[in-house]
Amino acid sequence: MEPLLGFEDEVMNVGEDKEMSSSSSSSNGYKLVPWLSWDEWDFVRESLFSSSSDKVASALRRISTWRSRGCLPVVIDVTASIIEIQQKDPYYRSRDNEYQAANVLDSDQLLAMLYCMAIMRLVNCVVEKTRRKTEASIAEAANAIGIPRKLIDVRHEGSHRDLPALQVVRDCSDKALDWLQAYYWEPQKNQIPLQRDGAADIRREIKSKLQELAFCLKMKQNPQLGPSLMKGKRSNKKWTKCLKNLVKLYSTLSSEIVSVLLEFLLNAFDDSSNLEFPNDSHVVKNVQTSLDDWKPVITKFSNKEPELLLSLLKAVLHMIENEEAKKYETGGQSLTSTEYGMGTYRMEHLSYLFAWLVGLLEGLKSLRRTNSSAERNISNSFMVELLRKCLLLSATGNKLLVDSSLHLAQLVGNLSITEKLRKLSLICLSHLDGSEENSSLSRCEDMQEDIPKAAKKLEFVKRYKMKRKVVMTADGDVGNRNRWVLAKSWNSCPIGMLPHDLGSSGRLPILDCDDRKQSGPQPVEKNEIMELNQYGGKREASCDIQLLDNSSIKKMKETVEVCQLNTDGISLFDDSIGHLMIGGVWKKVSEQELETIKSRVRILI
């Protein structure tokens, strides 16, 4: 472990790199801050100036955490100090009836000292950054940035003469807070980009960009449609520029782009379904043409951002899932016939879209043979996940989905799975042909025969997972003794964030920690739990053993009995691993029992 400081010699022009020499900023205007997001900063700002002392206390706690990170701007530090002193001052606290005697300081002398110190720090520190040492005195520089004269006087008096009277410094503290609001808090708030209502603006922007790109590409394909002025080269430049903008946006707003694109694609169906639809092939052709408009867009985009297609596929599966869930939730019979019809058509559209996207993916894969192995691994594991989900959904006998899953399996390249699926789809096909009648009786029969099929699929999935579990327990035995383990799969993501399944943009972590009860993590899991209930075996896309235990336990907690954990101290997850609440008592459950319970829940549906 004795490398030389190679950077000093080989590094790219350390001396010329101006960004290195300045303290915590860089040439492109980024600065190190102690907060995770502007939402956090805004929350602190609101709470700090609110009239509820609880909110103020929570804001002060957060600011003291920021202090521990070491890059807190001094204006925030000073604001927090003044407000903290005011919270201890009976003059300000006598207004609300909480905390009568406990938290206030009685000594006038002490309070005056505290206020005075805070004001001195305000004048000195805030001014310090704005002046050059030799040019002006502190008083002059303070005047220059608009600090009220009274504060400057108090600072002078407090450091050279008697301590000013308490009422004087109290008054000054109010003035100081007003000034700080006007000097820092308000202007900074106005400078934060992307406010909450900005989300609509983003969508509009993305929509317009995508439409522009589609238009440009269409022009490129059919030059005779557009005006003759648009020559070949210029149109090339236009759409490449368009594409570049979109790719830049994609790195930060990937989920937005995916959802907007999905909207456009689904609109293609709606447009064509507004025509009469007795003739199926007619519909299909119309849909095909409108989808074809988007084909070049997606292919060109995917060439730059390969994960776009995968994200789209995931989103479509998600929507199919929701449709299924809706159907089962409300019960097939209670829907009116039109709603039911709509639901079915929507399902068909979605399945068709899925098949079309898989077709695109195949086309893309055949072009690109030069993936790096890491990339291929990541996208392969993701596709296996997609395949699994697709299989689960196609249990309802959706022919298109079954076909798509076959294609996906081929893409993944697993021959055994492909073979099995081919056989399965044959069974499925022969079966579906017989069940076009709308009698409820035959539907029941279908269901009865669907169940063993579903059971076979379940068996297959279980076996697959068992295989992986065996592999993992093999090194998990050694692993159990190691607390420090290298993360098994890792997607690149910024420092401070957690990785996404796809892409390198990462997601913001949830850092709240409730050390009294485990109520903290639960609200986030509730969404997971709700969906779990509706569709039995759905789980997060990770096959980590620990997560397996945790998520199924969370599911169980909701379905069997809801009970709060009463843990004292800071241990977050120790107690829950390996235990299930059965009949009101926490019992230790083994893996096998867990599996049986899970499969029982699934077949009920």
Between residues 226 and 520, which has the closer beta carbon with respect to other proteins?
520
Q: If binding means CB under 8 A, how many residues of this protein chain bind other proteins?
A: 96
As measured in angstroms, the least distance from the Cβ of 146 to other proteins is 13
Q: Interface with other proteins includes 440 (CB under 8 A)?
A: no
Please write down the HEC assignment for all residues of 398-438.
Answer: CHHHHHHHHHHHHHHCCHHHHHHHHHHHHHHHHHHHHCCCC
Q: How far is the CB of 579 from other proteins (least distance, A)?
A: 15
- Residue the block writes with tokens 């807190």: 72
CA distances from 523 to 40, 381, 529, 530 (A): 19, 29, 10, 11
Give the residue with the Cβ less far from other proteins, 193 or 583. Answer: 193
DSSP letter, residue 521: T
By CB under 8 A, is residue 192 in contact with other proteins?
yes
Restricting to residues 515-554, name those near other proteins by CB under 8 A: 515, 520-521, 524-525, 544, 546-547, 550
CA 358 and chain centroid, separation: 25
Whole-number Å distance between alpha carbons of 491 and 499: 6
- Of 158-166, 182-190, 382-390, 435-443, which part binds other proteins (CB under 8 A)? 182-190
Using the structure block, give the residue that is written with the tokens 């060439």: 303
By beta-carbon proximity to other proteins, the closer residue of 90 and 148 is 148
How many CB atoms sit inside 10 A of residue 557's CB? 19
- Chosen residue from 18, 95, 160, 483 binding other proteins by CB under 8 A: 483
And the tokens for 113? Answer: 């000292």
Q: In this structure, what are the phi and psi dihedrals at residue 35, rounded to the nearest 5 degrees?
A: -105, 150
Among 332, 341, 363, 509, binds other proteins (CB under 8 A): 509
Cβ pair 110, 143 in contact under 8 A: no
Identify which of residues 223 and 509 has a Cβ nearer to other proteins in the complex: 509
Q: How far apart (Å, rounded) are the C-alpha atoms in residues 428 and 580?
A: 38
Q: Which of 250, 255, 245, 234 has the alpha carbon at shortest distance from 212?
A: 245
By CB under 8 A, what part of segment 377-436 binds other proteins?
none
Question: Which member of 165, 415, 510, 605 binds other proteins (CB under 8 A)?
Answer: 510
Provide the minimum distance between the beta carbon of 21 and other proteins in the complex, in angstroms, as a whole number: 6
Q: Does 144 bind other proteins (CB under 8 A)?
A: no
DSSP state of 25: B
Q: Are 62 and 48 in contact (CB under 8 A)?
A: no
Of 12-41, binders to other proteins (CB under 8 A) are 12, 14-15, 19-21, 23-26, 28-38
Task: Quote the tokens at residue 288.
Answer: 């095909």
Assess 578 for contact with other proteins (CB under 8 A).
Answer: no
Residue 307 or 324: the one with the smaller Cβ distance to other proteins is 307
Identity of the residue, 290 or 518, whose beta carbon is nearer to other proteins in the bound complex? 518
Handedness of CA 477, 482, 483, 489 (dihedral sign): negative
| Shortest Å distance, C-beta 250 to other proteins | 10
What does the alpha-carbon distance between residue 527 and residue 133 come to, in Å, rounded to a whole number?
57
Tell whether residue 493 is a contact of other proteins (CB under 8 A): yes
Find the binder of other proteins among 498, 530, 563, 585 (CB under 8 A).
498
Rule CB under 8 A: choose which of 51, 191, 274, 448 binds other proteins: 191
Among 129, 204, 423, 463, the residue binding other proteins under the rule CB under 8 A is 129
Q: In the stretch 53-92, what mask flags binding to other proteins with x, by CB under 8 A?
A: --------xx-xxxxxxxx-xxx-----------------
Q: 413 — alpha (psi -120 to 50), left (phi > 0) or beta? A: left
User: What tokens does 423 get?
Assistant: 């056989």
* Footprint of other proteins on 231-260 (CB under 8 A): 251
**Binder among 399, 573, 594, 602 for other proteins (CB under 8 A):** 573
Angle CA 117–119–123, to nearest 5: 120
Pick from 146, 193, 227, 584: which binds other proteins (CB under 8 A)? 193
Minimal distance in Å, beta carbon 207 to other proteins? 23
* Tokens describing residue 4: 């030389």
Structure tokens given for 152: 């400057």
CB of 324 within 8 A of CB of 601?
no
What's the CA gap between 547 and 518, in Å, rounded?
17
Q: Which is nearer to other proteins, 63 or 350 (CB)?
A: 63
Does 182 participate in binding other proteins (rule CB under 8 A)? Answer: no
- The span of 1-9, 313-321, 348-356, 440-448 binding other proteins (CB under 8 A) equals 1-9
- Beta-carbon contacts of residue 406 (< 8 Å; ≥ 6 apart): 418, 421, 422, 425
Q: Which of 101, 495, 562, 604 binds other proteins (CB under 8 A)?
A: 495
Instruction: Show contacts with other proteins in window 162-181 (CB under 8 A).
Output: none
- Least Cβ distance, residue 508 to other proteins (angstroms): 6
Among 116, 169, 184, 238, binds other proteins (CB under 8 A): 184
Which residue is it, tokens 């050279």?
A: 160
Least distance (Å) between residue 1 CB and other proteins: 5
Residue 187 in the binding site for other proteins (CB under 8 A): yes
